[in-house]
Amino acid sequence: MKLTVIVLSAIAGIFLIGLCCVMSSQNGAISLEESVKTAQSGIDVQLANRFNKLTELAECVKNYDAHEYRTLTDTIAARGKNMNGKEVKECLAAFSRVEERYPELRSQANYKMLMEEISIVENHLAQHKKAFNEYVRDYNRYCRKFPTSLFLSIVGYDFIKFEYYRADESMNDTKPMKLF
């Protein structure tokens, strides 16, 4: 009688340990699957951020360029209107000796800022793509390893085949944007 209780207890213990291993494998796979989906969502967010930020910055630079152009042409036109023929000749002679003072133009700084922002946005996107690929690797590796793959097949877990983010796929989201 005592031996039967010990044997039944051992069988129940082994069954419970096996059940815990199976459930732990399924929980681990679900956790890694969610990490992959979160990383995939991060890429989508960064792509939307890239589009929004770059179009806003480009519009800002474009508007400032138009403002500078108007300021410069207005300044030149105003200087030309206030001169008669004699003054124009004197001005041309003096122009060869004196530096003309135009309004300070700042478009170059705007373009530099735009290029820096493009670099920052692209670096963030690259980091998210790299993280996505790492999560896909971890998930695929976890689900294919023995005994995890055996345990997952026992519970009927549907293994999702996530693909790595490849350079040829990213060409679809890196089409040059017509900013100007």
**Domains of the chain by residue range:** 32-67+107-173
User: If you average pLDDT over residues 162-180, what whole number do you get?
Assistant: 62
- Confidence band of 98 (pLDDT split at 50, 70, 90): very low
DSSP string computed for 34-47: HHHHHHHHHHHHHH
Name which of 61-65, 85-89, 127-131 the model is least confident about. Answer: 85-89
Amino acid at 81: K
* Confidence at residue 94, expressed as pLDDT on a 0 to 100 scale: 54
* Confidence at residue 130, expressed as pLDDT on a 0 to 100 scale: 92
User: If you average pLDDT over residues 105-124, what whole number do you get?
Assistant: 79
* Confidence at residue 133, expressed as pLDDT on a 0 to 100 scale: 94
* Confidence at residue 137, expressed as pLDDT on a 0 to 100 scale: 93
* Confidence at residue 114, expressed as pLDDT on a 0 to 100 scale: 78
Q: How far is CA 89 from CA 4, 80, 83, 86, 141, in A?
A: 121, 12, 10, 5, 82
User: If you average pLDDT over residues 44-51, what whole number do you get?
Assistant: 88
Q: Tell me what the pLDDT averaged over the chain comes to.
A: 78
Q: Is the peptide bond before 147 cis (omega within 30 degrees of 0)?
A: yes
* Confidence at residue 88, expressed as pLDDT on a 0 to 100 scale: 57
